[in-house]
Structure formats: structure tokens, C-alpha cells
Chain A
Amino acid sequence: MKQTSEHFKAHVTAALADPTLKIALNRTTTLLRERRAQVIADFGEYAAAREAAQKIKDHTLDNLAHYLAMFEANAVASGAQVHWARTPKEATDIVTAICKAEGARSATRVKSMLGEEIGIGEALAAAGVERIETDLAEHIIQLAGDPPSHIVMPAMHKTHEQVAELFREKHAQPSNSDEIAALVESARRELRPKFLNADIGISGANFLIADTGSIVTVTNEGNAELTTTPPKTHIVTVGIEKIVPSMAHATVFLRLLSRAAIGAEITQYTTFYNGPKRAGDADGPETMHIVLVDNHRTEMLGQFLRPMLRCIRCGACMNHCPVYAAVGGHAYGAVYPGPMGSVLTPAMSDLKSTKDLPNACTLNGRCNEVCPVNIPLPDMLRSLRARQHQAGLTSGMTRGGLAVWGWLARRPGLYRRATGLAMFAMRVWSMNRGRIRRFPMAGNWTRHRDLPQPELGTFMQQYNRRSRK
């Protein structure tokens, strides 16, 4: 997808004016938050598991070269072919070259965020390979021509009424009913023959297991196995940060991922894949390719964004973000929305075109609190703001205002007098009506709400008065 984060403000205005979007976001984020809270409350060991998960990821990142080399050797030993790509372009070139070599006409795909990140859809289209999205939500947005709006539930922005309309238009045998169960049944009917007739099956991986060379997928629908088993070739595209030392280490994350993402103890289908089918196997692909993708990850490894590489793409941070809940995923104009996206998008593109993202945050800290690997998202967003400032990306007004404030703040006596004076002036301005409807230079604030009338004196004045008593 084409990144349009520079138009964030315009997107927000449009999103806030869309009443259907509000309904869709409300229905989903509320349910997801409730389910997560319940299942975490039932998991007494959660805090210890979360701490261990963080430590395992940090340990793996500290020894990344060691584990990647180990993974490669083991994957090759079980018959997979391993490829390396620095950029999205290198990755999609590898994928399309495989498709060409196989003479592939169609590919089924199970959703992976890395696939979105490298633009696999566009690349397959350019190579003339028909792409069949098999995850229900991806199927919906493929039919609608929409980009994903959430990393776990890409069709979160759609109500069931909208999906019903879409299916009636696009499905061969749509159902008459608008009920969600009937819609799911209609998609099942539509996709079933396509699973069995595709030339290539494309997946991502939730984990790479270093000591076995396995890749792991986690789904609720069972579409990963239906995508990766019938075709003669299975291609995996995956980020290098997905690696963990062993199956036992992966278990710690399996318990956290489904709880954080959908509020379940485990997802319905967790599958470990080792190379292509074995001699005599009843089914499975004849070749398996694993494309390991960097795309700015090694860059992040060397700087303040390193903790972001712990991310397991659960989506909890966005489900709990008040900004996301109000504007939805599309407003961010990037593959990754919400709090984690506001960190990743600048890291994977540039500070300038993504300038609004780190600022669209109230710093309430919920995202960090619910993150199963304890990523300090608010701190990183703050650091990104500081970097924008250093790079001269903030407005003249902000820079001037901050300079004046900084000058004053370093002179406490003067600062106290100035704030005391300002407060006095505001009290006079409010004329004791309890609130201020309009105030010079604060038009943007007062357009939507009133300022309260200030208390009697600044904090320091009140503090001094009390200490004297």
C-alpha cells in the first residue's frame, strides 16, 4: 500500500465525520478489551510470563546473528530453501522469481503483516499471479479494495451490514441473510475450491524456531494450513526479529499472544512447519522457501528503537488506544496503525512525512501497560517527538513558544511571577463566570471546549500559603 501518513490530519477529519466507522470501531475494540481483561485476570502467572517474554526477546536480539545462523542451518537441513532480503523490493523480487520459475498462475495467501509491509499484493499483481486472500478479514478487504485497518483484524472498519452488501455483490453464491454466521458461510463456500487449486501458498510466520528451523503460524480459522498444504510450493516471508531460541521458548509467547490479541488462552490452530513434505507423506508442498526480511530492523537494533523489535504484533496497544478507537486504522495512512505503528512507520520510512503520528498520542500509557512484551511505546513516541524537534520539523510557533518557556523555566523567580501574572489576567478575563469561552491565541482549544477559570493562585503560591500556616 502507498503510505499517506503525511495526510494524517485530513484523514482524521474524515474519519471523525464517518458515523459508520464509529459504530464498527466501538463494537470491536470494546469486545476485544473486555475479552482480554477477563483472560488476563484468569492467568495468575501473567506478570511473570510477561517479564520472561521480554527477557527472552531481549536475549534473542542480543544474540541475533547466532540464532539466525542456527535457524538457517536447521531449516536447510529439513529441506527448506532460505533467502535473505534487505529491502521490500529484494523480498518481493525473490517471491516473484519463485512464482515465475514455477509457472504459477495463482497463489493463496494467509495474512501476515510482513507481507503487507513488503507490498506482496502489488508485487504478485505486477507478476501476473492471481492472489487469493484466505483470512476472512483479508478476503473482505481484498473484495472491497481497502487497505487493512488493524494488524489482527484488518477489516475492523467494516460493519456486518457493509460486509453483507459487499458479499452480495462479489460472491458467486451469496447468502440471503445479513447475519454474521451466514456471511462466514458464504466466504467458506467461495474460498473452498480456491484453496485446493492454487499453485503457490504464501504465509508469514509468527515465530521462527532457531534450534529446529521451524516456522510457526497461529490462526483461528485454519486457513494457514489450508493455504500451505495443497499447493506444490510454500513460500514464507518473515521479519528477522520473529526468531526465538526453541519450541519451549515459543510456548511463553503462544500463551501471551492469543490472550493479548483476542482474549483466548490459545488460538484454535498453532502449527509448526519443517521443510517440505517428507518422503511418503500423504500431503504437503514439494518445496518450501523462507524469505528472511530486514527492512530497517537491523537499523532499529542499533538505536533507541531496539525494544520495538520485541513486538509480537498482537494489536493490544491499538485496541486500548483512545486515538485509534476514535479515528480507526486507515487514518494513520500506513501498514502499521495505532501506537506501535506510530513508532514503526517513522522507523521504516522517515521522520518528516510521518510527523503527525508520534504527536497523535495522549501519553496515557495504556499501550505500554497492555503490551505483552512491555514495549515502552509512550517513551519512544516522546523520543520521536524530541527527534522531530532536533531535526527542525516542529512549527515556528512551537519552537518560539518552547524557547520562551525554556528561557523562563530556567529563571524560577521570574517564572513564578510570570505564571502568577498570567493566572491573575485569566481570572480577570473570565470575569468570575467559572469558565473562559474565548482566549487570545488559544482559539484551537476554545473552539471545541471551554477553559476552566483558574484557581486562586498558582501551585507555588498555594503551596507557600499552606506551608506558612
Chain B
Amino acid sequence: MSTARDAIFQAISTANGAPRDADTIAAEAMALIATPDVLRPGFTGQDNLDRFIEKATSERVTATVSHAATLAEVPGQVADYLTRVGLGAQIALQPRAALRDLDWGSVSVHHTVDANEPVAVSIADLAVAETGSVVFLSGPDAPVLLTFLPLHHVVVVGQGQIRRHLEDVFEFVGAGQASQPRNLNIVTGTSGTADIEAKNIRGAHGPRFMHIICVADL
């Protein structure tokens, strides 16, 4: 195996010549993205929350949004949602203390996620105004499959967690400096496919519906 590695590096050095010094390379790399604003969609005059909602509810992203003042209002809104879409009062809940500690009233809560889970509720670690995306970092209290198996995904987003651009998300997780969680999932709306005749259809393998509860003070 190491012979394959050596041979590949040898072939690269034949094509490229001697490697340059690491600081020069790093400086050159940084210069290429030194002015990110000229490379990404601008939305001056629109604040993060407005942009996030506009994008999240767009035809392409297809989420619905409701607002809550505090986390305590979340169980009530979830119950309303379940009634609205005609689901039973049962949810798979992300096992995060902030959610567990809420008073879920008549809604029955479990922390495992079944293959055909009807609905899951989780808190997003971050959100992105530019694209209307929500972001999850995997961990002991944040199973990855909770985002992918259910048919309905209810996502709680704190207004203060909305970052302007994708780059700001990477800065938050510390990019090259920090040790990363196994998964950083950037989720933009519902699972879709255009694999048959390029027609957009929702609910391919992941959720078909996403509802976002925007909490002013998380």
C-alpha cells in the first residue's frame, strides 16, 4: 500500500516539480478568497432573519415557518403542527436537555428513531440566511438519523443562531483549527429527487415536509 502512496507522490513531483514552502502556499490560498463578498450572493438591506425565512419558504426549499418567543412555546406549536397535518400526538425528540426539559403535555415523546418515523423534532445548531439552510452537528445528544428517517421534520431555530453565509458556519465550527464532530449536516429543505425526467419530487428518502419554529430568545 505504501508503494502505491510513494508512486503517486513520485508521479506528482515529476509533473509539478519540487514542492514550495508551506507558508507561501497558505498565503496564496488565503489570497484567493480574501474578498468573499465578491464571490457570493449579496443581500444588502435584508437582515438575516428575513432572508432566512424568504429562502426557507421558497418554492425550491419548501419549508413552512412559525414563530415563538421562547422555547417554552415549542411544545404547543408542535402539537398544533401535528393536528394540522393529521398526525398522532407522538414525536421522536432529539435527546437534548433543552428539549427534554420542556413540558410536552399530551404529546408523547421518545428518543429512538424508527425506520418509518412519522415526525421528529430537533434543535438546529445553526442556520444560514443565504440559503435558508439549517445545520446539525452530530453528537451524543444529536443523532444523525433523526434528520433523515422521519417523514416530517420539525426544526427549532434560535434567531441568534442564524449566520449570514455558509462561510460563517465553518468559522463557527472552527474550521481547520478545531476537532470536528463526525458529521456537519447542512440541510436545505426536504429530501428531493429529479432523477426521473428531471421533475422535482419531494420525500425521496428523507423527510417530505419540514417545519421550522423560529425562536426569538432561545
Contact = CB atoms under 8 A, between A and B. Distances in A.
B195 A135 contact: yes
Contacts of B7: 86
Contacts of B39: 45, 48-49, 52, 252, 255
B29 A245 contact: yes
Interface in B113-149: 115-116, 131, 133, 138-145, 147-149
A282 B141 contact: yes
B9 A31 contact: no
Interface size class of B (residues with CB under 8 A): 35 or more
B38 interface: yes
A326 to B, nearest CB: 17
B191 A229 contact: no
Contacts of A269: 185-188, 191, 206
B158 interface: no
Interface in A158-213: 158-160, 163, 180-181, 183-185, 187-188, 191-193, 195-196, 211-212
A447 to B, nearest CB: 34
Contacts of A55: 32
B216 to A, nearest CB: 26
Given A84-B1, A155-B195, A272-B180, A282 B140 contact: yes
A27 B175 CA distance: 41
Contacts of A245: 29
A223 B204 CA distance: 8
A64 B185 CA distance: 27
A310 to B, nearest CB: 14
Interface stretch (B10-18, B72-80, B82-90): B10-18
Contacts of B193: 136, 184, 220-221
Contact of B201 (A94, A156, A184, A249): A184
Contact of B195 (A86, A136, A230): A136
B144 A283 contact: yes
A281 interface: yes
A278 B16 CA distance: 37
Contact of A271 (B175, B186, B189, B190): B186
A332 interface: no
Contacts of B14: 298, 302
B217 interface: no
Interface in B172-218: 175-176, 179-199, 201, 203-207
A31 B144 CA distance: 33
Contacts of B133: 266, 270
B144 A28 contact: no
Contact of B40 (A31, A45, A214): A45
A32 B165 CA distance: 26
A64 B16 contact: yes
B33 interface: yes
Interface string A375-398: 000000000000000000000000
Contacts of B204: 136, 184, 187-188, 220-223
Nearest to B4: A84
Contacts, number: 277
A462 B181 CA distance: 72
Interface string B2-35: 1011011101111110011010010011001100
Interface in A236-267: 240, 245-249, 251-252, 254-255, 262, 264-267
B206 A222 contact: yes
B170 A43 contact: no
A248 B177 CA distance: 13
B196 A184 contact: yes
A221 B189 contact: no
Interface in A379-426: none
A236 B194 CA distance: 24
A192 B181 contact: no
Given A45-B38, A254-B166, A226 B206 contact: yes
26 contacts: A27-B197, A45-B41, A52-B33, A69-B9, A195-B115, A221-B204, A223-B204, A225-B145, A226-B149, A226-B205, A229-B148, A251-B170, A255-B39, A265-B60, A270-B188, A272-B180, A274-B183, A281-B139, A282-B139, A282-B143, A283-B143, A284-B183, A292-B8, A294-B8, A299-B11, A306-B15
Given A52-B32, A84-B4, 11 more contacts: A27-B198, A136-B204, A220-B204, A221-B204, A225-B147, A266-B188, A268-B189, A278-B138, A282-B144, A284-B138, A306-B15
Interface of A: 24, 27-28, 31-32, 43-45, 48-49, 52, 55-56, 59, 61-66, 68-69, 78, 83-86, 90, 94, 134-137, 140, 153, 155-156, 158-160, 163, 180-181, 183-185, 187-188, 191-193, 195-196, 211-212, 214, 220-223, 225-226, 229-230, 240, 245-249, 251-252, 254-255, 262, 264-278, 280-284, 292, 294, 298-299, 301-302, 306
Interface of B: 1-2, 4-5, 7-9, 11-16, 19-20, 22, 25, 28-29, 32-33, 36, 38-42, 55, 60, 95, 115-116, 131, 133, 138-145, 147-149, 165-167, 170-171, 175-176, 179-199, 201, 203-207
